[in-house]
Structure 1
Amino acid sequence: MHPFLNTAVKAARIAGSFIQRHADRLDTLTVEKKQRNDFVSEVDRQAEDSIIRTLRKAYPSHAILAEESGHSGDGEYQWIIDPLDGTTNYLHGIPHYAVSIALRYRNRIEHAVVYDPAKDEMFSASRGAGATLNNRRIRVSSCKTLEGALLGTGIPFREDQDIDSYMGSLRAFLGPIAGIRRPGSAALDLAYVAAGRFDGYWEAGLHPWDIAAGVLLVREAGGLVTDFEADDHYLDSGNVIAASPKLLKPMLAAVHPHLGKAAQKK
């Protein structure tokens, strides 16, 4: 395992252990509202602090981009951190959330970790070295068409999001697919695509820390990732489609008329 990835795994396990220790005393946590339907708890902040301490100890000159504390430092190496992706699930006692850590070098994601502490599942990847789940290689599904496919998504919940356009994309999938799931953690949704649990996934309006680690997992597991314009600007736009190779094109064809730039300008 690459030293960068080893450090990320260590940081994720430390944060995950802290998160799980507080999972049975949720009623005692201090919770704040960042905006309507978007919450942050003291667990998010302390888990993030523990990750940053671990990374800074090993690589003090690296830059950081973290969900709660924002951007700090400069340099060619930047750690992108979501300490608790799926906070709403966590606060409601739903065991589906994750720690997400990615390392970007010269604007390219090189290493990634998504850790599910509730299930003790560690998804990890390094560019060119494949993706693993608990040290065993994983691959995207072999699904070739939408017929029978199981897809993951994220339903808009903020006032600044276009629910009508999203519903159009949702309707476009109805019929041939086996089903659509909205588990509530983008990082884990992408990890599930990498592991072949989901055949594909799409969501709009995400942040870099939500998807940076997950997109590398998918690519290293043999999948494809694009934005709604069939381009690779998903970290900037927050719009992402991830799927097995044969499934990406039909997913893009279903999503683009409703959520692509041209559709949004109508």
Structure 2
Amino acid sequence: MINEVQEPYVVGGKSFTAVAINTAAKAGQWIKSRLGAHNSVDMKYSSHDLVTEVDKGSEKMIRNLIMTHFPNHSFLGEEGVEPGPAASAQALQNVRDAEYLWIVDPIDGTTNFIHGFPFYSVSIALAYQGEVVVGVIYDPSRDELFVAEKGKGAYVHGQKMSVSAESKLSDSLIATGLPADRLGALPANLSGIQALAPKVRNIRVAGSAALHLAYVACGRLTGFWEIGLNSWDIAAGALLIQESGGQVTDTEGKPYTLDVRNIIGTNGRVHQELQQGLADSGATGF
């Protein structure tokens, strides 16, 4: 039975987690070296959804490093997908049945990176038969590496992580985002902010969903929600929270899967109260 649990993580003597860690660290350091040196900024889905040649270079590096070790695995990266929610959903469906699927955001927080605001990250997850089994988020600015393996806990700086202890929304520091989808997701998220701001200790909007999720996992945030995210924004961070003792669902309270786009991740203790607050204000995005 033990062998069955461990088998997804190691193939041919190569650790999936080690490859994810090394790849995220190499990409992150390269990204940091390009800070302030990118040459072009292109608009993707909207004027608030940006991409640079550094995003594309980071994804190419990550893909090449992973495929060197695991050439038969499937790969889903943000920069290989056309802009917009429909294209993102279709891209996931195209690889949904892959036995091993790497899900990558080469720079989560591109707008921050462009402006030199030090809150961006590399997010790498590995799904085995549709379930995330490895999650790594690397913050080059702080040189912080968040790592989780299914059933084995989550760690930062080599120390085991656990979620925060707040039991009431009124004591909670919550984070969210301002989605690039200005017509659908953004109004829903703003409704949520308006409804929840009076009920929580405070709200943070720092611009990297992956890092926000990592911060929930390590107890710096009590919870996070956002409407209209993609699988590469969420996959690694969702496992970090789950392996740190927290809870991850969609905004209606249904279990997390790779298809989830409207996400809540919390310490578990305030999850129902946060979800109910979004539901009462019609801000679930559904």
Q: Give the SS at the match of 2:79.
A: coil
Please list every run of 5 or more consecutive structure 2 residues that lacks an aligned counterpart in the other structure.
1-8, 82-90
1:202-241 residue CA offsets vs partner (Å, 9 max, x unmatched): 1000000000000000000000001012112553241000
- Cα RMSD of the aligned pairs, angstroms, is 1.8
Query: TM-score scaled by structure 2?
Result: 0.86
> Which residue of structure 1 lines up, in the alignment, with residue 57 of structure 2?
46
Q: Quick one: which of 16, 20, 25 aligns to 2:32?
A: 20
Q: Give the SS at the match of 1:64.
A: strand
Question: Matches of residues 132-147 of structure 1 in structure 2 within 5 Å?
Answer: 132-147=155-170
Cα pair 1:61 1:75 within 8 Å, conserved: no
> Which residue of structure 1 lines up, in the alignment, with residue 43 of structure 2?
33
Quick one: which amino acid aligns to residue 156 of structure 2? L
CA distance 1:46–1:224, change in 2 (3 Å):
same
- What's the CA shift for 1:25? 2.0
Greater Cα offset, 71-80 or 8-17: 71-80
Question: Matches of residues 172-251 of structure 1 in structure 2 within 5 Å?
Answer: 172-233=195-256, 235-251=258-274
1:148-180 residue CA offsets vs partner (Å, 9 max, x unmatched): 210000123433324443333222223342100
CA distance in 1 between counterparts of 2:51 and 2:37 reads: 16
CA distance 1:61–1:260, change in 2 (3 Å):
same
1:80-106 residue CA offsets vs partner (Å, 9 max, x unmatched): 000000000000110110000000011
Quick one: which amino acid aligns to residue 238 of structure 2? V
Query: TM-score scaled by structure 1?
Result: 0.92
> Which residue of structure 2 lines up, in the alignment, with residue 61 of structure 1?
72
Report the number of matched residues. 260
Q: Quick one: which of 138, 147, 154 aligns to 1:124?
A: 147
Cα pair 1:234 1:240 within 8 Å, conserved: no
Q: Give the SS at the match of 1:147.
A: helix
Q: State percent identity of aligned pairs.
A: 38
Please list every run of 5 or more consecutive structure 1 residues that lacks an aligned counterpart in the other structure.
none
Quick one: which amino acid aligns to residue 152 of structure 2? A
CA distance in 1 between counterparts of 2:45 and 2:98 reads: 31
Q: Give the SS at the match of 2:178.
A: coil
Quick one: which amino acid aligns to residue 34 of structure 2? H
